[in-house]
Amino acid sequence: MAQQAQEARTDCYAAVDIGASSGRVVVGYVEDGLIRLQEVHRFDNRQVRRHGHDCWDVDLLHTELLRGLARCKEAGFAPKTVGIDTWGVDFVLLDADDNLVGDAVAYRDARTNGMYEVADAIMAPEELYRRVGLQRQPFNTIYQLLALQREHPEQLEAADTFLMIPDYLNFLLTGQKAVEYTNASTTGLLNAETGAWDETIMAAFDIPRRLFPNVTHAGASLGPVLPEVAEAIGYEPRVVLPATHDTGSAYLAVPACEPPAVFLSSGTWSLLGVENRSPICSEAAFRANFTNEGGYHFRYRFLKNIMGLWMIQSIRRELNGITYVVDEKAIRKG
């Protein structure tokens, strides 16, 4: 209680990092020439079954985001800015009144089964890769949109705006709609050379360009939080775009300024690769299924997806809260 009574520290910044299994809110500040980080809130992220699909509970994410920002104040901080990153590829649709259209279906849902064949009949996979440089994965946003076209075309008709998950959370904080570059690069709809939406691909796949705000880059400010948000959390930070794809932000933390440097970022996925100044969209890269994900300051993370912690996260989910105690002495004897 004594700490809460003190004047909140304002020379600090809040980072919100949300992965496929959990999220956290961390406050950072500089003290004695060192960057200090203090975790103030951690929460579970979960998938829920809705209308026959595995979906993200975006209402829960919003609630936990506000709770975490409020706990910054409880811990004696009033951050100047807030930045949010999440995983890639997943999205929401909003109607003209900014209400959700449909559910935030999770990338591991089975709705994209069979979409390779549908997509390949529209555009050869080699040509798609040459334009966007994105690895061939069934969960890429382009395949999710193809699945949505077939199951719920009325949702695309009713939609007015496409936002990715961190973009939607930013919108709930500020009322501003912006799609950040690093996350947009995971859609399969962003031209690797120009960093803008590839309208040739959108036209070929009958994906409405009108839904997509122009791409915004990390470092842009979306302005202060809404008055009702400021009242709920106890202070009025600005929302600034980091690299909103969590791997893009993770790469920035690696102490390597000049290539060549190989990076390994581990979470639900492990991602192994390098950062380049230009994309590599060659036939060899396509055959090896390397991806060119957008990085900070219009750089490219040339990498491969490797199995990460998903198996452990899945076991934890399937146990549904059951805790097993491991006998460490027995392990050492074995």
pLDDT in tens, 276-302: 999 999 999 999 999 999 999 889 999
Q: How many CB atoms lie within 10 A of CB 126?
A: 13
Assess if residue 298 is contained within a domain: no
pLDDT for the residue 57: 98
Tracing tokens 């994906």 back to the chain, one arrives at 207
Query: Where do runs of H (alpha helix) occur along 234-327?
Result: 246-252, 283-288, 310-319
**Per-residue CA distances from 218 to 9, 92, 252, 292 (Å):** 25, 20, 12, 17
What pLDDT is attached to residue 305? 79
What's the whole-number mean pLDDT along residues 122-127?
Answer: 98
Is the pTM here over 0.85, yes or no? yes
Average predicted confidence (pLDDT) for the chain = 91
Contact 145, 205 (CB under 8 A): yes
Which tokens hold the place of 320? Answer: 């549904």
Comparison of pLDDT for 265 and 221, the residue scoring more: 221
pLDDT for residue 333: 44
Do strands 238-240 and 81-85 pair parallel, antiparallel, or not at all (unpaired)?
parallel
Residues in the chain: 334
In angstroms, the CA 77 to CA 3 distance is 10
- The pLDDT score that the predictor gives to residue 281 is 97
Q: How confident is the model at residue 331 (pLDDT cuts 50, 70, 90)?
A: very low
In this prediction, residue 2 has a pLDDT band, given cuts at 50, 70 and 90, of very low
Q: Which residues, other chains included, contact 17 with Cβ-Cβ below 8 Å and sequence gap of 6+?
A: 23, 24, 26, 85, 246, 249
Report CA-CA distances (Å) from 222 to 84, 178, 241.
Answer: 12, 8, 7
The confidence score (pLDDT) of residue 120 equals 98
**Is the Cβ–Cβ distance between 9 and 78 less than 8 Å?**
yes
Least confident of 16-30, 167-181, 250-264, 284-298: 250-264
Active-site residue, 246 included:
yes
DSSP 8-class letter at 77: B
- Do residues 84 and 166 make contact, with C-beta atoms less than 8 angstroms apart? yes
**For position 39, what pLDDT does the model report?**
98
The CA distance from 333 to 161, in Å, is 59
User: Do 186 and 179 form a contact (C-beta atoms < 8 A)?
Assistant: no
Predicted confidence (pLDDT) at residue 310 exceeds the cutoff of 80: no
Give 106's DSSP letter: -
The active-site residue, picked from 85, 103, 109, 246, is 246
Q: Which residues pair with 92 in a beta bridge?
A: 163
> Terminal CA-to-CA distance of the chain, rounded, Å?
49
- Tell me, yes or no, whether 170 lies in a domain: yes
User: Which residue in the block uniquely carries the two structure tokens 């690769």?
Assistant: 273
What residues contact 1, with CB distance under 8 A and at least 6 apart?
Answer: none
Residue 322 has pLDDT above 60, yes or no: no
Beta bridge partners of 190: 197
- pLDDT score of 274: 87
Where does the pLDDT of residue 323 fall: very low under 50, low under 70, confident under 90, or very high at 90 and above? low
CATH number (domain holding residue 12): 3.30.420.40
Inside any domain, residue 285: no
**Mode of pairing for the β-strands spanning 161-164 and 91-94:** antiparallel
- Residue 264 included in any domain: no
Residue closest to 164 by CA, chosen among 78, 116, 240, 104: 104
Three-state secondary-structure class, residue 126 = helix
Ordered DSSP codes for 23-44: EEEEEEEEETTEEEEEEEEEEE
* 15 or 2, higher pLDDT: 15
pLDDT at 94 over 90: yes
Strand partners, 44: 22
Q: Which of 202, 181, 87, 191 is nearest to 129 (CA)?
A: 191
Residue 111 dihedral angles phi and psi, to the nearest 5°: -65, -20
Residue 310 in domain = no
Instruction: Name the residue range of residue 209's domain.
Output: 2-257
In a domain, 316, yes or no: no
Task: Answer whether residue 320 is part of any domain.
Answer: no
Query: Side chain identity at 264, as an amino acid letter?
Result: L
Q: Quick check: is 180 in a domain?
A: yes
Domain count, the chain: 1
Q: What is the pLDDT of residue 187?
A: 98
